Amino acid sequence: MERKKTLTKDIVNQAIVDSFKKLNPWIMMKNPVMFVVEIGTVITLLLSLAPELFGSSEVGRGYNIAVFLILLFTLLFANFAEALAEGRGKAQAESLRKTKSDTMARLVQKDGTYKQVSSTSLRKGDVVRIEIGELIPSDGEIIEGLASIDESAITGESAPVIKEAGGDFSSVTGGTRVASDYIVVKVLTDPGESFLDCMIALVEGAKRQKTPNEIALTTLLAVLTLIFLIVMMTMVPIASYLNVKLEISTLIALLVCLIPTTIGGLLSAIGIAGMDRVTQFNVLAMSGKAVEAAGDIDTMILDKTGTITFGNRMASEFVPVGGRSVKDITFAALQASVKDETPEGRSIVELANKLGESWQADHYSDAEVVEFTAETRMSGLDLADGVKFRKGAVDAIKNYVTAHGGKIPADLEAITNRIAKAGGTPLAVAINERIYGVIYLKDTVKPGLKERFAELRAMGIKTVMCTGDNPLTAATIALEAGVDEFIAEAKPEDKIAAIKKEQQEGKLVAMTGDGTNDAPALAQADVGLAMNSGTMAAKEAANMIDLDSDPTKLLSVISIGKQLLITRGALTTFSIANDIAKYFAIIPAMFILAMPQLQALNIMNLASPESAILSALIFNAIIIPLLIPIAMKGVKYRAMSADRLLSRNILLYGIGGVVVPFIGIKIIDMVLHGLSIV
Ligand SMILES: Nc1ncnc2c1ncn2[C@@H]1O[C@H](COP(=O)(O)OP(=O)(O)OP(=O)(O)O)[C@@H](O)[C@H]1O
Ligand SMILES: [K+]
Ligand SMILES: [Mg+2]
């Protein structure tokens, strides 16, 4: 997807226009703090037109107009922050929409002939054939063929990826292009529900919902607003007792200064910008809740094949056991794999062919295929004459042959151990109850994982690799990748059990995976990150998808999640701490005539009561745009525990929140006075 790192002029211009549109009270009502400001703005507008509207008044029209304008800008600044945060996503959605142009598709009909149809008419279950250079019309699963696919429209990555029928690399996304060969694809989504549709809605923020944290904070801010409203009301009898005439516009100014407008105005921008930052890292987060949960993760569970490793496991060697020859095991491995459509199975057939073994398709016409499942961890073929070929995880095959009365060859263990210790996956091969040898499947660990896992450790996050592979292979890969712990020989339900166990200890768990067998675990985890290279099932179950298929990407999401929580905390603290200075500015200004002793509180030595009130109100308005960069980028973040980070920032923003407005208000007062405005 086309990524805009910086804010373009178009985005800023659009945000300015949107700031005015967002003045609509129906929209404003969702933000109680700013809605109160809007009501104040309307009242001061009325007072600007008719100063005596609510009774006698001693202030000039100019003062009312000044208060009205400052309040209006307060609203516009807050709206601008939100519109700006939304801007980049909207621009991205626009460019994605262009990818979604209508294409023609070659629908494969029942009799095998093709029919040209519009891509928008494709439904779940339809089968289409896509040739080199053509756009894939819809999301689906390859059922025939192998091709390199250019996914740059969606991932921004220009190098094509290989996709093939069977296994974990069979899913294709509508809007991507076939760069070589051809594929036959079974459509898996109905119009309007595709990955691209979902992506557009996500980056655009169309489905954005407030997160539980955001709702809690909004409620807190609304309560604070109510309290200050009551405080302001009590000023009226106090003033009348003191024989002071309180102007309505002054009361409104006091109220707006005291209610938490800074955080109220920036709150949604912080959340939207956080989601946007996640997208900039090429991760699609289905909800803000998932991003926030990532900020609090304690344990990260990773699948091995396809997540920690590249997952293109290729047969590299056939090793005989129990006195068999290389030719024997090659023959057995080939027979056990001729009907195995997984990439592993096909690589075995390829290697056997290279070694001179071949087979005839008609020979197997009445053979029964035993398909690979993550549950049995085996696959094979049952011939009509009763001969059974099996291959699979070594312990699974051992159990199989012992159950059929066979013996385990003495040299099997040494050979499997050699392969496993090298990080390879050994597959044992049997004909009936006899083990013939071992297939060496090679896989490669993705680079750079060790450093990234070390960073996770520094944040106090435990990493656990969970794999269907044997313990020795798992141990080797775990060491090479640098994870803290591993679980081997795990079936899909074991992956869920591992997650539940951590959750029961009160921990928040993230899971990354790519396979259909990972889908239930991805759904169970608090944060489920699916590799874009993975299956549709995995992507549907997850609440985040990494377009670059990099499992350590979660680290970036965790950082953004933590930053989001801390930014919100820091700006809330800043916003509330600001009240102290405003109090010192406004209270003496309101009562100074009746109580000259209050001059002692005028520590900023502000020029006049009007200047004090307007300066405080102006500061209150311009602090919002000044803080937009922090709201958008997040407060500075370093890898340390969330608690320490939070207390550090609260201290920083708390003290800053007390001091900065004293200086700011004084400067504004000097400028206003210097320009003889007040
Ligand atoms: N096509 C196949 N035929 C027979 N056995 C296989 C085949 N593919 C994999 N296996 C065996 O089954 C085991 C489990 O495979 P599965 O795909 O469930 O997990 P995995 O890919 O090894 O690990 P992970 O869960 O980390 O992705 C593998 O370790 C391997 O021993
Ligand atoms: K305020
Ligand atoms: Mg896997």
Residue 663 has pLDDT above 90, yes or no: yes
| Most ligand 1 atoms within 8 A of CB, residue of 168, 373, 469, 531 to mutate | 469
In 3-state terms, what secondary structure has residue 655? helix
Ligand nearest to the CA of 470: 1
Mean pLDDT throughout 583-603? 81
Which of the four pLDDT bands, split at 50, 70 and 90, describes residue 1? very low
Pocket lining: 427 vs ligand 1, CB cutoff 6 Å: yes
Q: How much of the chain, in percent, has pLDDT values that exceed 70? A: 98
N-terminal to C-terminal alpha carbon distance within the chain: 53
Q: Which residues contact 555 (CB under 8 A, 6 or more apart)?
A: 452, 455, 456
Ligand nearest to the CA of 531: 3
Residues 613-662: tens digit of each pLDDT: 999 999 999 999 999 999 999 887 776 666 777 788 888 999 999 999 99
| Most ligand 1 atoms within 8 A of CB, residue of 169, 305, 342, 439 to mutate | 305
Residue 2 has a pLDDT of 45
The rounded Å distance from CA 555 to ligand 1 centre is 27
Residue 594 has pLDDT above 70, yes or no: yes
Please name the residue whose Cα sits nearest to atom 31 of ligand 1.
393
Pocket lining: 344 vs ligand 1, CB cutoff 6 Å: yes
Residues 454-476: tens digit of each pLDDT: 988 988 899 999 999 999 999 99
Residue 419 has pLDDT above 50, yes or no: yes
The rounded Å distance from CA 495 to ligand 1 centre is 14
Mean pLDDT throughout 315-330? 95
Residues 493-508: tens digit of each pLDDT: 899 999 999 999 999 9
Pocket lining: 393 vs ligand 1, CB cutoff 6 Å: yes
Residue 286 has a pLDDT of 87
CA pair distance 8, 14, nearest whole angstrom:
10
The rounded Å distance from CA 23 to ligand 3 centre is 50
Q: Which two tokens stand for residue 604?
A: 């900023």
Mean pLDDT throughout 128-141? 92
Nearest 5°: phi and psi at 402?
-60, -40
Pocket lining: 341 vs ligand 1, CB cutoff 6 Å: no
Residue 35 has pLDDT above 60, yes or no: yes
Please name the residue whose Cα sits nearest to atom 14 of ligand 1.
468
Which of the four pLDDT bands, split at 50, 70 and 90, describes residue 361? low
Residue 152 has a pLDDT of 86
The rounded Å distance from CA 470 to ligand 1 centre is 9
CA pair distance 45, 249, nearest whole angstrom:
10
Mean pLDDT throughout 52-67? 82
Pocket lining: 369 vs ligand 1, CB cutoff 6 Å: no
Q: Hey, which residues does 442 pair with through a beta bridge?
A: 314
Pocket lining: 469 vs ligand 1, CB cutoff 6 Å: yes
Residues 503-530: tens digit of each pLDDT: 999 999 999 998 888 899 999 999 999 9
Pocket lining: 285 vs ligand 1, CB cutoff 6 Å: no
- Tell me how far CA of residue 668 lies from CA of 78, 599, 654, 664, in angstroms: 20, 19, 22, 6
Longest dimension (CA), the chain: 110
Q: Hey, which residues does 318 pair with through a beta bridge?
A: 439
| Strand-pair category, 527-531 with 544-546 | parallel
Residues 151-177: tens digit of each pLDDT: 888 887 778 888 988 878 889 999 899
Ligand nearest to the CA of 534: 3
**Active-site residue identified among 303, 443, 550, 579:** 303
Q: Is 494 a catalytic residue?
A: no
ipTM for the whole predicted complex goes beyond 0.90: yes
Q: Which residues contact 178 (CB under 8 A, 6 or more apart)?
A: 130, 131, 132, 133, 134, 136, 147, 148, 149, 150
- pLDDT: is 3 or 498 the higher one? 498
Residue-averaged pLDDT of the chain: 89
Residue 110 has pLDDT above 60, yes or no: yes
Residues 610-620: tens digit of each pLDDT: 889 999 999 99
Residues in the chain: 678
Residues 245-286: tens digit of each pLDDT: 888 899 999 999 999 999 999 999 999 999 989 988 889 988
Mean pLDDT throughout 351-377? 85
CA pair distance 649, 627, nearest whole angstrom:
15
The rounded Å distance from CA 643 to ligand 2 centre is 27
